[in-house]
Amino acid sequence: MDNIAWHDVQGLLLSGYPQLPWSVYLPFRWRDGAAEGARAWLGALAPRLMRAGAAGEPAAPGGAAAPHLQLLKAKAPPVALNLALTAPGIAAVSGAAALAPFSLEFREGMAPARGNGPVPRRCNVLGDLGASSPASWDWGGWNGNPSVDGLLMLFAADEATLEALVARELEALRRVAEPLVAPDNGGPLRLTSRLYDDLKEHFGFRDGISQPIIEGSPRAERLAENREAYRIHVVKPGEFVFGYPNERRVTSGRDDLRNNGSYLVLRQLEQDVAEFNRFVEQAARQMPDPSPLAVKCEWIRARLVGRDSDGVPLARASDGTVGGDGELARAKINDFLFAHEDPAGLRCPIGSHIRRANPRDGRGDDPEAALLLSRMHRLIRRGRMYGERFDPARPDDGGRRGTLFMALNADIAGQFEMIQHSWLNNRHFGDRHVGTDPLGHLDETEEAIVIQDRPVNLVLDKRKPFVRVRGGAYFFLPGIEAVRRMAQPV
Ligand code: HEM
């Protein structure tokens, strides 16, 4: 296989920047009539974008003037910049014809305009209805901040460095673009987000554990000796980066603006932690089991996600209890499959979040075929938290908090949308009634969450979702050379 041109790929594709836990994303609109200025800004930005690798080969530190991941490991520079553009954002600088190779869903956007017609098909596909309808989004939807051209992503090691970076970059950006407007104070909309030291999201679960590993990446090379893990996690590069073969052995985008780029799905998912905790506690109180309430709560929480709060996967917990034989479970925190280890979902429920989001070998009768199929529906997740952390002493503080969910993939319809629609939002996932994803946002009817158990299944009433979509857009994370091409006059 061709070597991947990591020096031309933006760093976010290969790393979630754990060294840079502070971040601000600035969604913006180009100013009217400022295409020339926008191109000049892109040209100046291109060499400053964080890349996945140095020119030449990925692992060699030094040798390139542009920032790349190896330098991050050497602690300099302490910041990273990445850029993504929407379809209108690309058309404005490169002309509408430049969009021809991009997919329909990207061109249409996450929330196609409704006008006076029926709810657009995409809202139905994603389940963006009711409280999660684009009608009430803060940005990217139908009302406030409907049009978005681009997203400047800024990452730093500490808050002060981040603030200085934001101030500098906002000033330069403002000459060619207008930031979107924050609904609360009318200032620039800053999507401020964090990775916490304990790597937990707001509901209290460790996140970011399971990621696909790109064939040809340094991590895949390190895994080469471990055949079982390689089989589960390593995926062809074309599933995420254009210009290389995907799992169907098809290469696309090598000769157009998509080369060395990836689609970036961004969703602002608000989390109602107090409601989630109340739901778990109520369900735990109804369990006849004499264990202490806290133990029962953790039992239920783990079954909603498929991992306990510390990330230990239930499918690997030896006797089905949370954590199981801890050391083994921890060591094998991600090298598990479902078909043989837990076919009936008695350890890790069929409808749990991780079993839907990546069913591994557990769908249908042929585990090998299922694993192959799962490899065609993977996402690289780069989500970060926004809002204050939840304080159990002040459960109803009115604070808005959630996940800035970010997924990278080369086929939005076949990867992100398929997972959201056919797996997370599917009441009959795994060919039986299991309700929709416990962490999902579907808000149509009363829901039931089914937990496989002996002697009978546990059925929990979920009266409303704990998650609500507040904004979002489909972006494209271009390769560096593509940014340079967009900077050229049309
Ligand atoms: C606020 C909403 C969400 C929360 C709190 C959440 C939380 C989590 C947690 C705690 C995990 C387990 C840790 C891990 O395996 O890394 C996980 C895994 C995952 N989630 Fe989510 N998630 C949310 C929404 C979504 C959405 C909307 C999607 C896709 C459309 C998604 C896709 C995934 C995938 C693919 C995995 C990895 C599964 C695996 O490979 O085993 N998540 N999520």
Q: Please provide the size of the chain in residues.
A: 490
Determine which residue's CA is closest to atom 19 belonging to ligand 1: 354
Question: What is the pLDDT confidence band of residue 74, given thresholds at 50, 70 and 90?
Answer: low
- Name the closest-CA residue to atom 31, ligand 1: 357
147-197 residue pLDDT tens: 999 999 999 999 999 999 999 999 999 999 999 999 988 899 999 999 999
Contact 4, 216 (CB under 8 A): yes
Which of 425, 436, 439, 442 best tests ligand 1's pocket when mutated (most atoms within 8 Å of CB)?
439
3-state DSSP of the chain: CCCCCHHHCEHHHCCCCCCCCEEEEEEEEECCCCHHHHHHHHHHHHHHCCECCCCCCCCCCCCCCCCEHHHHHCCCCCEEEEEEECHHHHHHHHCHHHHCCCCHHHHHCCCCCCCCCCCCHHHHHHCCCHHHCHHHCCECCCCCCCCCCEEEEEEECCHHHHHHHHHHHHHHHHCCEEECECCCCCCECCEEEECCCCCECCCCCECCCCCCEECCCHHHHHCCCCHHHHHHHEECHHHCCCCCECCCCCECCCCCCCCCCEEEEEEEEEECHHHHHHHHHHHHHCCCCCCCHHHHHHHHHHHHHCECCCCCEHHHCCCCCCCCCHHHHHHCCCCCCCCCCCCCCCCCCCCCHHHHHCCCCCCCCCHHHHHHHHHCCCCEECCEEECCCCCCCCCCCCCCCEEEEEEEECCCHHHHHHHHHHHHCCCCHHHCCCCCCCCCCCCCCCEEEEECCCCCCEEEEECCCCEEEEEEEEEEECCHHHHHHHCCCC
What residues form DSSP beta bridges with 450? 459
> How sure is the predictor about 72, in pLDDT bands with cuts at 50, 70 and 90?
confident
pLDDT digits (tens, 9 = 90+) for 410-442: 999 999 999 999 999 999 998 888 999 999 999
pLDDT at residue 443 greater than cutoff 90: no
Residue 273 has pLDDT above 60, yes or no: yes
What are the C-alpha distances in Å from 113 to residues 119, 124, 142, 146?
A: 9, 13, 6, 9
Q: What is the pTM of this model?
A: 0.95
Inter-CA distances, 225 with 138, 221, 236, 333, 343, Å: 47, 8, 18, 18, 27
pLDDT digits (tens, 9 = 90+) for 100-154: 999 999 999 999 988 778 899 999 999 999 999 999 999 999 998 989 999 999 9
Q: Probe ligand 1: pick from 199, 207, 418, max atoms within 8 Å of CB?
A: 207
1 has pLDDT over 80? no
Portion of the chain with pLDDT greater than 90, in percent: 80
What is the rounded average pLDDT of the residues 298-325? 79
Ligand 1: centre distance to CA 316 (Å): 18
The tokens of 409 are what? 């993939």
Share of the chain above pLDDT 70, in %: 92
Tokens 């180009």: give the residue: 30
Q: Is the dihedral of CA 351, 356, 357, 358 positive or negative?
A: positive
Distance 266 CA to ligand 1 centre (A): 14
**453 CB-near residues (< 8 Å, 6+ apart):** 346
What's the CA gap between 56 and 7, in Å, rounded?
A: 7
Q: pLDDT for 444-469, tens place per residue?
A: 667 789 999 998 999 998 888 999 99
The pLDDT of 352-371, averaged and rounded, is 96
Does position 61 have pLDDT exceeding 60, yes or no? no
Single-letter code of the amino acid located at 92:
A
Q: Which residue has the higher pLDDT, 67 or 8?
A: 8
Contacts of 364 (CB under 8 A, 6+ apart): 370
Given a cut of 70, is residue 319 above it in pLDDT?
A: no
Nearest CA owner, ligand 1 atom 7: 207
Expressed in angstroms and rounded, the spacing between residue 63 Cα and the centre of ligand 1 is 37
Confidence (pLDDT) at 344: 93
pLDDT tens per residue, range 470-485: 999 999 999 999 999 9
- Rounded CA Rg of the chain: 22
Mean pLDDT in the chain? Answer: 91
* Residue range 214-263, pLDDT digits in tens: 999 988 998 888 998 999 999 999 999 999 999 999 999 999 999 999 99
- pLDDT for 317 beyond 70: no
Supply the pLDDT for residue 318.
53
- pLDDT value of residue 75: 59
CA of 199 to the centre of ligand 1 (A): 13
Distance CA 380, CA 108 (A): 22
d(CA 420, CA 474): 14
Q: Which atom of ligand 1 is nearest to the CA of 205?
A: 10
Residues with C-beta less than 6 Å from any ligand 1 atom? 201, 203, 205, 207-210, 269, 271, 305, 307, 353-354, 357-358, 379, 381, 403, 405, 416, 419-420, 424, 439, 467
Predicted confidence at residue 329, as pLDDT, reads 46
d(CA 366, CA 222): 29
- Confidence category of residue 15, pLDDT binned at 50, 70, 90: very high
Q: Would you say 154 and 25 are in contact if contact means Cβ atoms under 8 Å apart?
A: yes
What is the predicted pLDDT for the residue at 321?
Answer: 44
Which pLDDT band, with edges at 50, 70 and 90, does 64 fall under? Answer: very low
**CA 357–ligand 1 middle distance (angstroms):** 7
